[in-house]
Amino acid sequence: MSEIIITSDNFESEILQADKPVLVDFWAPWCGPCKMIGPAITQLAEKYAGKLLVAKVNVDEVGSVASKFSVNSIPTLMLFKDGEVVDQRIGAASLSVIEAFVKPHL
């Protein structure tokens, strides 16, 4: 798996202190739209390995992180750069739409 699984213990080191842009997928296993975009997220992680980090936050298991960033709907994608949220989108989307969301920040 090329995505980083985020816990409350590794959020700061893996995302806020990352030396590359980080695409964070806030999701849950019961969420249909989250399952729909899962393969696209994995493809992006593989395609942009070395340029982009991809992380997954299960909102059921790491609710504190989701709350900190006011995630009320899933899937929510947030793009972090230098420890700050630089962009976000909510809802399912195709690979091409998600890629277009990420590319300007690489």
Name the catalytic one among 15, 18, 31, 59. 31
HSE-up (13 A, CA, CB side) for residue 36: 11
pTM, two decimal places: 0.94
* Residue 31 is a catalytic residue: yes
Looking at residue 8, its pLDDT comes to 86
- Omega cis (within 30) before 39: no
* Low-confidence stretches of the chain (pLDDT beneath 50): none
Name the catalytic one among 18, 34, 40, 62. 34
Looking at residue 102, its pLDDT comes to 96
Give the start-to-end residue ranges of the domains of the chain.
4-105
Looking at residue 3, its pLDDT comes to 84
Fold of domain 4-105: Glutaredoxin (3.40.30)
